[in-house]
Amino acid sequence: MNRILKKAAVIGSGVMGSRIACHLANAGLQVILLDIIPFELSEEELQNGIAVTNPKFRNRIVNSSLLNAIKSNPSPIYKKSFQQRIQTGNLEDDMSMIADCDWVIEAVVERLDIKQKVYSQIESHRKRGSILSTNTSGIPISILANHMSDEMKTHFIGTHFFNPPRYLQLLEVIPHIKTDPEIAAFMLEFGRKIVGKTTVLCKDTPAFIANRVGVFSIMALFHEMENFDFSISEIDKLTGPIIGRPKSATFRTCDVVGIDTLAKVALGVKEHCPNDEKNEVFKLPDFLEGMVSQNLFGDKTKQGFYKKTLVDGKKEILGLNLKTLTYEKTERPKLEALDLVKNEEDLKKRIRILAGGADKVGDFYRKHFFGVFGYASNRIPEIADNCYQIDDAMKAGFGWELGPFEIWDILGVENSLQLMAVYGIKPAIWVEEMIKSGYKNFYQYSSGSVSYYDISSKSYKSIDGKKDFIFLQSYSSNIVWQNSGSILYDLGDGILNLEFKTKMNTMGGEVLQGISKSIGIAEKDFSGLVIANEAQNFSVGANLGMVFMFAIEQDWDELNMAIRQFQKTVLRARYSNIPVVVAPRGMTLGGGCELSLHADRLQFAAESYIGLVETGVGVIPAGGGTKELAKRFSNSIQNGDIELNRLQNTFLNVAMAKVSTSAHEAYDLGYMQAADRISINPHAQIADAKALCLQLATEGYTQPIPEKIKVLGKSALALFTAGIFGMKQGRFISDHDAKVASKLAYALSGGDLSQPQEVTETYMLDLEREAFLSLCGEKKTLERMQSLLKTGKIIRN
Ligand code: NAD
């Protein structure tokens, strides 16, 4: 039977419930959100004569929670209008609203009695066959199910979202012993395909997978740091992006999560897992106990391991001295061993170098990595059946780029086993057996698929639910061409994929060469080209360092050539005889956005932050971006349209360097078109882009013919000029902002032509390039560029 899930109810609208409701609305579901009625009327309600029968009072908790969630930053919702998909109510008057829901999610306070009371209410209203799940982070699912009817028990399951649900990729799916296996299988697939999450099947064990291993890793670091005598900022430096973990590393992450929550999970594991061989690690060190008793909970009490403060009117971040529990100035950590990997972009190579060091830092990494390897391996089969479930949970739940078993593969499993013995760390027997049977790695990457070492069959198996995804790493034997900044893979079925490989995927000469070369190869021997990567960001734009260097040396010919080259490359993408599909994700800025604007189709990741941000560094989009927006405006003009107003919106978006906060918003900004698509699951994006490209090729793609662009000339320019003057007079913008905006206005209007008329693309490209070049001769533009390059900050001057 096909299970259809269109409508969901979320019970409990707190931190998690309100945000889960928003994310389900993001996924296109109709959502009911319910919470309790307040205990009494507020002062304000009394003053306004609101009666206890008034829905304003009865739904106050749910409505204000939802409003607060939507107003919070970062937003839980892709687009404000999606809020209309959520209907609110309360648990006394509106339980009948759940009667036609296909999925009911309980997200009320973490108390067994309250949760069970809510289930009995749900039981009398839900439709038979609908799924009931709990978001509990700690109470065993089997205990929660205790008093349910048999029918509801079989439809009951844990669905553990992480906070914030929109942004954290992990959804742990936890069946209990009576859960119908069909429900678990459905939830794993629905969560992956429709909700866009990395779903991981967990066992009903304390803290499930991610928190069990993640909190072990943190607690182990707490104990180890004393032996190594590192400060908290040094540990954060050692355990952050340098080894593929989030910027917040260890201690900042604890502050964000909450020290109270961390302590609760650790103590929960300590109490409920007496046979855990590392049970002692979950004991709170003295400093953590001290922090809990002094309410140093992190961000929620505004002080934890770090504390923001004002010193002589300047913001400063102080760090906690773990011996005295007092705050001190934090010094920038200086660890010479890290210089060895300063210029190493490849994470795997960095990890090998760092863990191979002969000094204290190398010793620290070995001890830490080996400890986590040992612990994770010993949790199989207790918390998961196979290694990939633990790796997936750590990557999606804790933001690690690589899971423990993937790192173990990088360091070499066999070598590490010998070294681990030296450190007194004992991994699980199955790992030794794996090596003895001749299997040297946990994972195998080949001909487009990833397989893992399956313990029960003692062989490599492909990963359930990942068969439809494309992981570029597994195409390393299908490389068609590469240079220092890009790699071209053959994805099969006649489709190529170009991946950028530069820092933050900036687009310099080597990437532009990669694009042109790939199009040439595809035109000759293939059916289509996808330009996509798996990094966090598609591209932060053109290589600003190079532009700055030419500008400072006043090498205008070189700069002119470089911009021309960029324009030629994006036009090549536009006018090739094969379909080109670009896959924006994360930051897709400046040049990255301009390339996207020239693709035949875009396959966005839902989390795409796309925009033309050039004015921030004192120039205008000149890689075809200004021209392309003028062209889109020209193509969209219909009789009776208020032409100028529409063009003005485009002008404002670029002048104010607006960036979308999701792919759905990109549509409103004009960077996405109706035929473009969105992948809610980022791991599905490349496969989706390939399918789209293949579809275009199969349908019979023909090379587009350059079209004329209708520009408005003086009439648009006059409007923009008046607007810029007003903003300047009102001191909303600086003199230099006004200068940049005027250049943009000129290029977007098609110059000061006396009346609207059609012009060529080349004419428009010349206008934007001239504007760019002239702005590069401005001192204030150079100051803006220098600031971004040196400090990463945009200045307004
Ligand atoms: P919260 O305190 O923010 O919200 C709890 C909600 O329960 C509130 O809306 C409250 O009105 C409602 N509630 C209180 N008493 C009730 C009652 N008697 N009957 C029905 N509802 C009642 O909590 P939260 O952080 O949103 O956590 C909700 C669930 O999600 C918990 O099980 C928690 O363990 C789990 N969880 C939380 C996080 C997190 O980071 N906050 C992460 C993962 C899972």
Nearest residue to 747 (alpha-carbon basis) of 575, 663, 622 = 622
- Spacing, Cα 267 to ligand 1 middle (Å): 20
The string of DSSP codes covering 599-655 is: SSEEEEESSEEEE--GGGGT---TTTHHHHHHHHHHHH--TT--HHHHHHHHHHHHH
- Spacing, Cα 10 to ligand 1 middle (Å): 11
Ligand 1 atom with the smallest distance to the CA of 257 is: 40
- The one-character DSSP state at 176 is -
Ligand 1 atom with the smallest distance to the CA of 13 is: 9
Ligand 1 atom with the smallest distance to the CA of 110 is: 32
Q: Ligand 1: does its nearest atom lie under 6 Å from the Cβ of 114?
A: yes
Mutating to test ligand 1, I would choose from 20, 37, 108, 211 the residue with most ligand atoms within 8 A of its C-beta, which is 108
Nearest residue to 366 (alpha-carbon basis) of 264, 557, 203, 238 = 238
- The one-character DSSP state at 584 is -
For the entire predicted model, the pTM comes to 0.94
The rounded distance, in Å, linking the Cα atoms of 575 and 578 is 9
With a cut of 80, say whether residue 643 has pLDDT above it.
no
Read off the pLDDT band of 546 (50, 70, 90): very high
Amino acid 236: pLDDT? 95
Q: Ligand 1: does its nearest atom lie under 6 Å from the Cβ of 226?
A: no
- Spacing, Cα 110 to ligand 1 middle (Å): 6
CB 366 within 8 A of CB 259: no
- Spacing, Cα 183 to ligand 1 middle (Å): 24
**Nearest Cα residue to atom 22 of ligand 1:** 108
With a cut of 80, say whether residue 259 has pLDDT above it.
yes
Q: Ligand 1: does its nearest atom lie under 6 Å from the Cβ of 258?
A: no
Q: Token pair for residue 170?
A: 């992990």
Q: Ligand 1: does its nearest atom lie under 6 Å from the Cβ of 256?
A: no
- Spacing, Cα 67 to ligand 1 middle (Å): 16
Amino acid 313: pLDDT? 83
Distances (CA, A) of 29 to 23, 102, 194, 350, 456: 9, 10, 9, 43, 38
Amino acid 311: pLDDT? 80
Distances (CA, A) of 41 to 57, 59, 91, 766: 7, 12, 17, 66
Higher pLDDT, 1 or 745: 745
The pLDDT of 645-653, averaged and rounded, is 90
The pLDDT of 747-771, averaged and rounded, is 96
Mutating to test ligand 1, I would choose from 11, 16, 169, 255 the residue with most ligand atoms within 8 A of its C-beta, which is 16
Mutating to test ligand 1, I would choose from 10, 13, 15 the residue with most ligand atoms within 8 A of its C-beta, which is 15
Read off the pLDDT band of 502 (50, 70, 90): very high
Q: Ligand 1: does its nearest atom lie under 6 Å from the Cβ of 109?
A: yes
Q: Ligand 1: does its nearest atom lie under 6 Å from the Cβ of 61?
A: yes
Q: Ligand 1: does its nearest atom lie under 6 Å from the Cβ of 14?
A: yes
With a cut of 60, say whether residue 724 has pLDDT above it.
yes
Q: Token pair for residue 21?
A: 């409701």
Q: Ligand 1: does its nearest atom lie under 6 Å from the Cβ of 15?
A: yes
- Spacing, Cα 64 to ligand 1 middle (Å): 15
Neighbouring residues of 206: CB distance < 8 A, sequence distance ≥ 6: 138, 140, 212, 268, 269, 272, 273
Nearest residue to 470 (alpha-carbon basis) of 676, 210, 692, 159 = 692
Q: Ligand 1: does its nearest atom lie under 6 Å from the Cβ of 10?
A: no
Q: What is the mean pLDDT of the chain?
A: 95
Q: Ligand 1: does its nearest atom lie under 6 Å from the Cβ of 59?
A: no
Q: Which long-range contacts link 312-318 to residues 24+ away (Cβ below 8 Å)?
A: none
Q: Token pair for residue 514?
A: 């990669």
- Spacing, Cα 289 to ligand 1 middle (Å): 25
Read off the pLDDT band of 494 (50, 70, 90): very high
The pLDDT of 415-438, averaged and rounded, is 95
Q: In degrees to the nearest 10, what's the CA dihedral of 100, 101, 107, 108?
A: 0
Q: C-alpha angle with apex 342: 340 to 343, nearest 5 degrees?
A: 105
Ligand 1 atom with the smallest distance to the CA of 16 is: 26
SS3 for 133? strand
- Spacing, Cα 7 to ligand 1 middle (Å): 21
| Position 477, amino acid | S
Left (φ > 0), alpha (ψ -120 to 50) or beta: where does 648 sit?
Answer: alpha
Q: Ligand 1: does its nearest atom lie under 6 Å from the Cβ of 107?
A: yes
Q: How many other β-carbons are positioned within 10 Å of the β-carbon of residue 19?
A: 27
Residue with tokens 């919070």: 72
Q: Ligand 1: does its nearest atom lie under 6 Å from the Cβ of 174?
A: no
Q: Ligand 1: does its nearest atom lie under 6 Å from the Cβ of 33?
A: no
Q: Ligand 1: does its nearest atom lie under 6 Å from the Cβ of 506?
A: no
Q: How many other β-carbons are positioned within 10 Å of the β-carbon of residue 571?
A: 17
Q: In degrees to the nearest 10, what's the CA dihedral of 627, 628, 630, 634?
A: 130
Q: Ligand 1: does its nearest atom lie under 6 Å from the Cβ of 136?
A: yes
SS3 for 531? strand
Q: Ligand 1: does its nearest atom lie under 6 Å from the Cβ of 35?
A: yes
- Spacing, Cα 108 to ligand 1 middle (Å): 4
- Spacing, Cα 397 to ligand 1 middle (Å): 19
Neighbouring residues of 672: CB distance < 8 A, sequence distance ≥ 6: 602, 604, 610, 663, 666
Ligand 1 atom with the smallest distance to the CA of 135 is: 30
Q: Token pair for residue 151?
A: 């029918």
The pLDDT of 398-425, averaged and rounded, is 96
The rounded distance, in Å, linking the Cα atoms of 270 and 299 is 25
Residues of the chain above pLDDT 90, percent: 89
With a cut of 70, say whether residue 677 has pLDDT above it.
yes
- Spacing, Cα 62 to ligand 1 middle (Å): 12
Q: Ligand 1: does its nearest atom lie under 6 Å from the Cβ of 137?
A: yes
With a cut of 60, say whether residue 618 has pLDDT above it.
yes
With a cut of 80, say whether residue 638 has pLDDT above it.
no
* Residues 560-605 pLDDT 10s: 999 999 999 999 999 999 999 999 999 999 999 999 999 999 999 9
- Spacing, Cα 161 to ligand 1 middle (Å): 12
Neighbouring residues of 639: CB distance < 8 A, sequence distance ≥ 6: none
Q: Ligand 1: does its nearest atom lie under 6 Å from the Cβ of 13?
A: yes
Which residues share a beta bridge with 318? 307, 329
Amino acid 460: pLDDT? 95
Amino acid 111: pLDDT? 94
Q: Ligand 1: does its nearest atom lie under 6 Å from the Cβ of 537?
A: no
Neighbouring residues of 229: CB distance < 8 A, sequence distance ≥ 6: none
**Nearest Cα residue to atom 44 of ligand 1:** 137
Read off the pLDDT band of 641 (50, 70, 90): low
- Spacing, Cα 761 to ligand 1 middle (Å): 57
Amino acid 219: pLDDT? 97
Ligand 1 atom with the smallest distance to the CA of 91 is: 20
Neighbouring residues of 193: CB distance < 8 A, sequence distance ≥ 6: 681, 684
* Residues 348-372 pLDDT 10s: 999 999 999 999 999 999 999 999 9
Amino acid 705: pLDDT? 95
**Nearest Cα residue to atom 14 of ligand 1:** 109
Ligand 1 atom with the smallest distance to the CA of 137 is: 34
| Position 430, amino acid | W
Q: Is 560 exposed, middle or buried (0-12, 13-18, 19+ CB in 10 A)?
A: middle
Q: Ligand 1: does its nearest atom lie under 6 Å from the Cβ of 163?
A: yes
Amino acid 639: pLDDT? 61
Q: Which long-range contacts link 240-248 to residues 24+ away (Cβ below 8 Å)?
A: 242/338, 242/341, 242/350, 242/354, 243/347, 243/350, 243/351, 243/354, 243/365, 244/347, 244/351, 244/400, 244/401, 244/402, 245/398, 245/399, 245/400, 245/401, 246/398, 246/399, 246/400
- Spacing, Cα 177 to ligand 1 middle (Å): 25
Ligand 1 atom with the smallest distance to the CA of 17 is: 26
* Residues 160-173 pLDDT 10s: 999 999 999 999 99
Ligand 1 atom with the smallest distance to the CA of 136 is: 32
- Spacing, Cα 665 to ligand 1 middle (Å): 30
* Residues 12-62 pLDDT 10s: 999 999 999 999 999 999 999 999 999 999 999 999 999 999 999 999 999
The pLDDT of 169-180, averaged and rounded, is 98
Read off the pLDDT band of 642 (50, 70, 90): low
